[in-house]
């Protein structure tokens, strides 16, 4: 037997028998057999457990949309930990990542205590052996700690999770679920399709972020920023910075907008048919994650379809547009309407959808005078799209059987929105638009963010308010009417903050010194 293999076996046996051995998850212990057993079969490809360290631990757990979190403390040199990773990943793939089978329920993370940077973090949680697992609501881990003698702690040590089967069984007991290791995406899934449950929209805060991130990824991938589209993107970015329901999307889009002239100078765009990127800026551009770089992306919650090819991005984009519409002030409603129409026309890659939407925009003969006009126009446009797609999906069988297209809102969601319980001979509904407006403002406004992990900061983010004024003034190609731009700025902060931030911004335009680089 080669000496290297003997050395590895000796080390494993030594660690397994030592008093300082990698201890169990909980009070049980891993046997030598479990440390040395072959785990090459049923291989799990990729890392689904989210790697954390002291620099991103609080941020990730603060921002995750998941209801619960598991944190595994381990050491990379520990043989038991290396073997246990296979079990942990089998469970993590159910909840984490783009192919998550049951997204949004449990965020599964890992912290390597063998790294010196994490020593203090591991000490805060009294890590006494490896691997060691904890369960709790994500917010309880933020700035939190744990000790064996702590009473009434909302963070719990997982006492029986030494194999994938036992860990998932433990999770199922906490959630009252019946998830299985063999579950596949969009199968064995209890899709929540109860249209009468208005509180479901609160799950969409993550989907609005996902849709925003996806939209800008498409724009970059398809090289869609050109001289004729540059101004419309700037206007829509302004709208997002001022009114996006997610704080991290406001901050990320502000970072992009503040640096927009560096990435896409107007004079260079006008002389080039292709999207230019200034030398040395390409890597920086792709480092700007418009809705936060620390949040695992790739799945939908509120907009999750019962099939892989339904809902998702299109649903998330509609929720984004509605959530923006209810937040604009009346003085900026015309600008917001134009920015939305131009954004879809220039950057939505579904050709038929793009054309239909712009036809609806072009058919508007009277100015959008106030927030109510804009909100109701968008609601009416959405229903027109649904009616058109209802016919197409009925004839082609392409719709989602659990989420068929329908006029909206339903009577279950808003009975007061219907003046009459009957439709006329042409199938038209007698809507009460005053009630519709009140419902939309509540549904896409207050209710949408009601379960946000950071809703106080969503409403009271002073630093972001300063940025709003900065980005409204910073880009030299801005074509928003000055009154509308001023309305956005005034809605967010005072002149003093603008003056201070803008002066400091001009003193140092280098991206590496930008105050939001770490978001």
Q: Which residues are catalytic?
A: 78, 81
For 461, the token pair is: 């983010």
Phi, psi of 109 (to 5 degrees): -130, 165
- Contacts with 2 (C-beta within 8 Å, 6 or more apart), sequence order: none
**DSSP state for residue 493 in the 8-state scheme:** -
- Contacts with 213 (C-beta within 8 Å, 6 or more apart), sequence order: 289, 290, 291, 297
**Angle subtended at Cα 283 by Cα 278 and Cα 285, rounded to the nearest 5 degrees:** 70
In terms of C-beta density within 10 A (0-12 exposed, 13-18 middle, 19 or more buried), how is residue 166 classed? middle
How many C-beta atoms lie closer than 10 Å to residue 251's C-beta?
21
CA 101 – CA 184 distance, rounded (Å)? 6
**DSSP state for residue 201 in the 8-state scheme:** G
Bridge-based pairing state of the strands 418-423 and 429-431: antiparallel
**Angle subtended at Cα 61 by Cα 58 and Cα 65, rounded to the nearest 5 degrees:** 150
- Contacts with 270 (C-beta within 8 Å, 6 or more apart), sequence order: 227
- Contacts with 343 (C-beta within 8 Å, 6 or more apart), sequence order: 232, 233, 235, 236
3-class SS of residue 75: coil
Phi, psi of 283 (to 5 degrees): -65, -35
CA 282 – CA 223 distance, rounded (Å)? 13
Bridge-based pairing state of the strands 68-74 and 132-136: antiparallel
In terms of C-beta density within 10 A (0-12 exposed, 13-18 middle, 19 or more buried), how is residue 273 classed? exposed
For 378, the token pair is: 């968008």
CA dihedral 399, 401, 403, 405 (to 10 degrees): 40
Whether 324 and 336 have beta carbons less than 8 Å apart is answered as yes
Whether 175 and 105 have beta carbons less than 8 Å apart is answered as yes
**Which is nearest to 237 in space by CA: 47, 492, 488?**
488
């Amino acid at each position: 037997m080669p000496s290297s293999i003997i050395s590895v076996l000796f080390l494993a046996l030594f660690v397994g028998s030592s008093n300082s051995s990698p201890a169990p998850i909980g009070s049980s212990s891993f046997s030598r057999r479990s440390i040395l057993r072959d785990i090459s079969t049923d291989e799990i490809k990729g890392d689904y457990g989210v790697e954390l360290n002291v620099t991103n631990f609080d941020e990730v757990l603060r921002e995750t949309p998941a209801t619960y979190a598991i944190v595994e403390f381990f050491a990379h040199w520990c043989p038991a930990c290396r073997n246990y990773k296979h079990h942990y990943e089998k469970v993590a793939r159910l909840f984490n990542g783009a192919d998550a089978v049951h997204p949004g329920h449990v965020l599964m993370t890992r912290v390597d205590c063998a790294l010196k940077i994490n020593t203090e973090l591991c000490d805060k949680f009294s890590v006494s052996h490896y691997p060691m697992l904890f369960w709790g609501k994500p917010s309880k881990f933020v700035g939190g700690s744990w000790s064996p003698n702590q009473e009434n702690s909302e963070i719990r040590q997982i006492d029986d999770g030494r194999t994938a089967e036992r860990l998932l069984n433990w999770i199922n007991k906490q959630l009252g679920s019946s998830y299985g290791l063999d579950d596949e995406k969009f199968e064995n899934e209890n899709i929540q399709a109860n249209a009468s449950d208005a509180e479901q929209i609160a799950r969409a805060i993550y989907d609005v972020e996902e849709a925003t991130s996806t939209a800008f990824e498409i724009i970059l991938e398809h090289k869609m920023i050109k001289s004729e589209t540059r101004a419309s993107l700037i206007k829509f970015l302004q709208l997002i910075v001022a009114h996006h329901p997610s704080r991290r999307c406001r901050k990320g889009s502000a970072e992009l907008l503040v640096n927009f002239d560096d990435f896409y100078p107007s004079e260079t765009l006008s002389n080039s048919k292709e999207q230019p990127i200034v030398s040395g800026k390409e890597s920086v551009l792709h480092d700007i994650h418009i809705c936060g770089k620390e949040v695992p992306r790739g799945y939908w919650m509120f907009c999750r379809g019962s099939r892989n090819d339904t809902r998702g991005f299109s649903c998330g984009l509609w929720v984004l547009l509605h959530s923006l519409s209810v937040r604009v002030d009346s003085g900026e409603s015309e600008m917001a309407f134009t920015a939305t129409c131009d954004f879809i026309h220039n950057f939505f890659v579904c050709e038929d959808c793009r054309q239909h939407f712009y036809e609806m925009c072009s058919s508007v003969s009277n100015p959008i005078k106030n927030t109510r006009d804009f909100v109701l126009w968008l609601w009416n446009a959405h229903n027109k799209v649904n009616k058109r797609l209802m016919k197409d999906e009925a004839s082609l069988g392409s719709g989602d059987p659990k989420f068929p297209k329908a006029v909206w809102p339903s009577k279950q969601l808003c009975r007061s929105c219907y003046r009459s319980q009957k439709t006329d001979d042409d199938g038209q509904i007698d809507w009460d638009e005053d009630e519709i407006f009140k419902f939309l403002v509540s549904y896409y406004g207050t209710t949408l963010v009601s379960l946000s992990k950071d809703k106080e900061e969503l409403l009271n983010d002073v630093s972001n308010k300063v940025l709003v004024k900065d980005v409204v003034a910073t880009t030299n190609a801005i074509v928003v009417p000055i009154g509308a731009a001023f309305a956005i700025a005034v809605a967010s902060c005072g002149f003093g903050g603008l003056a201070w931030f803008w002066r400091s911004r001009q003193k140092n335009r280098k991206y590496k010194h930008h105050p939001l680089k770490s978001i």
